[in-house]
Amino acid sequence: MSDPAILIRLDDDNQTYLPGETLSGDFRIESLDAETLQVVEVSVLWHSEGKGDEDFAVHEFWRNNIESGALREPRRPDRFSTVLPRSPLSYEGQIVKIRWCVRVRAILKRGRDIVAQKPFRLGNVPPVKPPKIEVNEVPSDSPLRSGRFMESQ
């Protein structure tokens, strides 16, 4: 038996959503039988990366466990759906980035867990381009270029 893997599929292939739109899709766990599975958690979340403190927030969360009887056959696709919030929008800046994803976590009875993420973008904020710095050419006869510096008198 091969190692289990979680496959996440979004219904909209372009992976960019506007605030207020519905994000939906499905997931399934390959190479795993229901007897070894204890809990499946599905989250729609965002996190920041970059300088300073990194933030993390969960927009929507579902948890199915063996005791509730809500766990299905893991190899069969299971659906998720949520209406996306107004913010924070996805952002690819020079100092900080905000990223959204669907995360599925399967916790096995032996205490091990398997996690997979499917990224998507919220909003159409264009990536920040680094500023263009113009460098003026130093003339070939300049003391700065030749290493000769004038001494103040």
pTM (2 decimals)? Answer: 0.78
Q: Cα angle vertex 41, ends 111, 71, to 5°?
A: 85
| Domains in the chain: boundaries | 5-146
Distance CA 127, CA 90 (A): 9
- For 144, list phi and psi in degrees, rounded to 5: -65, -35
**Predicted pLDDT at 9:** 96
**Amino acid in position 87:** S
- Among residues 131, 33, 24, which one has the least CA distance to residue 84? 24
**Predicted pLDDT at 15:** 85
**Amino acid in position 136:** N
**Predicted pLDDT at 152:** 53
* CATH hierarchy code of domain 5-146: 2.60.40.640
Distance CA 8, CA 25 (A): 7
pLDDT tens for the chain, 153 residues long, are: 567 899 999 998 778 999 999 999 999 998 777 778 889 999 999 999 998 888 999 999 999 877 666 666 777 889 999 999 999 999 998 889 999 999 999 998 887 899 999 999 999 988 777 777 777 776 667 666 655 555 554
**Predicted pLDDT at 144:** 61
**Predicted pLDDT at 153:** 47
